[in-house]
Amino acid sequence: MIKKTLFFTQPAYLHISNRQLIIDLKNQGTTHQVPVEDIGFVILENQQITVTQSVIASLIDNNACILCCDEKHMPSGLLMPLAQNNTFTEKVRYQLEASEPLKKNLWKQTVVSKIRNQAALLTSIGIDSTPMHRWASEVTSGDKGNVEAKAASYYWEKYFEYLKTKANRHRNGPPPNNLLNYGYAILRAVVARSLSASGCLLMVGIYHRNKYNPFCLADDVMEPYRPFVDQVVLNIVSQLREIPEQLTTALKKELLVIPTLDTLIDGQKSPLMIATQRTSASLVACFGGESRKMLYPEML
């Protein structure tokens, strides 16, 4: 089931009644309600939103994520369930006991899938992706040669050339990095939610290791999904015929399509939100010794 994404940009009071999320919009004087079980993501952007504890508890009980934004209206925090899987302890043990060879193999699969999706995006906009396919075939266990970085350098050079901008990919770089950053934050929440539901510890990655990052595993698994966000940003810029300097509310709403984007995974067409669930389940199967293959999406 595709879950709803609720995006709040106005002052509001959120509370629960009869398993419904009641939304009182202060400025409009109107009230709306949404079944809690239908909600997958809640994005709180306005600084004048009041949320009751029952809202938080109900959303967590239904495996929904709450994405909080700072005073600059950029995602700054993610609240989600600690454990929504009935065999959580067993699966965490498998994850913690995963061997280095297994993790290196999983990272190789992740990098190969990412490069191939980047290549597919370049091909779709008429750019030669031959080097990308060659590099994908050269990735070794654990990507010891750092082929990912080599491919990324070529990919972003061509990506920004296509947009006719001298910008480069940097978190604090000029537009369209603002669009990319916001889209990746949404993607990270989608992936984190799926991993949590599958019984994984988000802070224990297969490649990313950072004592300040509680979402290392999500940052690993989301890599092959990033080109889907890149495609959305390309579409936005193409429609506007210019790179927007400001990340407006309207643009953010356009980026909220990310969880419902079409993907092809294991030969089946599937919304991105569902694809991340299949990817997460395949990762757990690898940790448990049931499989050696991660299921990652392909761009249509």
The answer to whether 242 is a known ligand-binding residue is no
What value does the mean pLDDT take over residues 252-261? 96
For 127-174, write each residue's pLDDT tens digit: 999 999 999 999 999 999 999 999 999 999 999 999 999 999 998 999
Confidence of residue 255 (pLDDT cuts 50, 70, 90): very high
Burial of 5 (0-12, 13-18, 19+ CB in 10 A): buried
CATH number of 4-79: 3.100.10.20
For 280-299, write each residue's pLDDT tens digit: 999 999 999 999 999 999 99
Domain spans in the chain, listed from the N-terminal domain onward: 4-79, 88-298
What value does the mean pLDDT take over residues 248-254? 95
Same fold, 4-79 and 88-298: no
pTM of the model: 0.91
CATH number of 88-298: 1.20.120.920
CA-CA-CA-CA dihedral for 145, 146, 151, 152, to nearest 10: -170
Alpha carbon of residue 289 to chain centroid: 26
The answer to whether 208 is a known ligand-binding residue is yes
d(CA 114, CA 221): 10
Higher per-residue pLDDT: 24 or 300 = 24
d(CA 214, CA 201): 9
The answer to whether 254 is a known ligand-binding residue is no
